[in-house]
Amino acid sequence: MEKLLHNYSESIRLSKLANEYIPGGAHTYSKGDDQFPANAPKLIDRGHGCKLWDVDGNQYIDMAMSLGTTVLGHAYEPVLDAVRYELVRGVNFCRPSVIEGKLAELLSSLIPSAEMVKLGKHGSDAVTGAIKLARAYTGRKYIARCADDAFNAIHDWFIGSTVVNRGVPEEVQRLTLQFKYNDIESCERLFDEYPGQIACFNLEPVSFTPPKDNFLEKLKTLCEKNGALLIFDEVVSGFRFSIGGAQEMVGVTPHLSAFGKAMANGFSVSALVGQKEFMKLGGISHDQERVFLLSTTHGGETHSIAASIACINEIIKQDAIAHFWKTGQALMDGIKSASIELGAEKYINISGYGVKPAFSFNDECGNISMLARTLFMQESIARGVLMPYVVPSFAHKKEDIDFVVEVVKDSLKVMKEAAEGKGMASAIVGEAVKPVFRKFN
């Protein structure tokens, strides 16, 4: 343990305090102590570019970038300038501010399916807003979500369909149906089983696996034939795969889509966008029954909206998306070569895209394992890299990626030696990390 630990005295003291007052010790489950090995920094003090410092002053290369939000880097000056400008002019008013319309117009000009835009604070708001609108438009109660998506929203329609469904009424759970990505038959079967009853199909258009055999086009046609709406959850893929989202990359426009994460460099802004025919139902000038769509006290917060406009403009100006693709690919290639050089390929799986690389880790028998993941994170943290998952950002430069590849190589070496020696379990200090979605602690 000694060699693995940085000095964490302040971190441990302050984290006890957080755990006493916050259930889970964090406001996002993926940040919890159960997601990290025992030698992980418990509390972060500050970040700059792609570097983080914990409260004891230890420095790390950040590969997770604020759950995928700080795409330009922590404390990115042009975004901060825009935020500062608004902060001193007042942050929220009883009528809309000018920049709400400006961001909506910008999003409409960039996202192929965006004729109208409703802003929120969280990705969950936007996805759940889309589900609500689809139900309202179609008058149907069932919804279908992609079983391969790890997460779509904190709301009951999604959480009720996971193992952590405590507190969600059974009646609500039953309304969410599931289909498989790239399996059009699984979608057809749902329409056969619930004819005229499904309001929408919701999915991440591209996650780690490419769409095959025109799956997304076929799904759109199938939805339209059956009077349902197609919703793309672009909370992760938006402003990452392409400036107009994955929908621009794959050339399929959904009826509604949801954006969040990458659109405001860490500030809290999300957007439900879509075709006017559906979106206008949330408005106040049609003569149909009204739909109460995404109305929040903080939705018009000026400095966050300014951050979003500045972030999107910088992504365009710096050609940051090309940088994400290149950087992530360099990382995947570097790690692949390192693992081959070490003869450790059997312990790591590399998949995904340059903009969204995925790594998982295998135990001695070649099975994906939380124990192997824990050992990997323990060793990379000990060497100054925080990599619970990978989000390439504009702040990651070649020297950072070279450093991370070296750290991953050293970590894989430890994993291989442990696997071939006393076993990975014996090399882990503390408990193994656990999946977020589990029934019991």
Ligand X SMILES: Cc1ncc(COP(=O)(O)O)c(C=O)c1O
Residues contacting 62, CB < 8 A, separation 6+ = 47, 50, 51, 52, 74, 386
Cα 261 to Cα 268: distance, rounded to the nearest angstrom: 8
CB of 189 to ligand X, least distance (A): 24
Let me know: does 333 contact 404? Beta carbons within 8 Å: no
**Torsions phi, psi for 147 (to 5 deg):** -65, -20
Nearer to ligand X, 55 or 235 (CB): 235
> Crossing angle of helices 370-382/398-420, nearest 10°?
130
Q: Can you give the binding site for ligand X, defined by CB under 6 A? A: 122-124, 127, 151-154, 204, 233, 235-236, 260
Nearer to ligand X (CB atom), residue 60 or residue 259: 259
Q: Which is nearer to ligand X, 236 or 309 (CB)?
A: 236
At 412, list the tokens.
């894989």
Of 207 and 378, nearer to ligand X (C-beta) is 207
Q: Residue 49 or residue 238: which is nearer to ligand X going by CB? A: 238
Instruction: Give the other-Cβ count within 10 Å of 17's Cβ.
Output: 11
CB-wise, 273 or 382, nearer to ligand X? 273
Contacts of 357 (CB under 8 A, 6+ apart): 328, 329, 331, 332, 350, 351, 390, 392
Going by C-alpha positions, the residue among 253, 179, 186 that lies closest to residue 220 is 253
- The two structure tokens encoding residue 231: 């919703």
Closest distance of CB 152 from ligand X, Å = 5
Output the DSSP codes for 399-435: HHHHHHHHHHHHHHHHHHHHHHTT-HHHH--SPPP--
Decide if 376 contacts 413 (C-beta within 8 A): no
- Least gap, CB of 268 to ligand X (angstroms): 8
> Which residue lies nearer to ligand X by CB, 39 or 124?
124
Closer to ligand X by Cβ: residue 86 or 204: 204
Q: How far is the CB of 292 from ligand X (least distance, A)?
A: 19
Q: Is 174 helix (H, G, I), strand (E, B) or coil?
A: coil
Strand duo 44-48 + 51-54: pairing = antiparallel
Smallest gap from Cβ 68 to ligand X, in A, equals 7
Task: Give least dist CB 127 to ligand X, A.
Answer: 5
Query: Least distance in Å: CB of 430 to ligand X?
Result: 26
> Cβ 356 to ligand X, closest distance in Å?
11
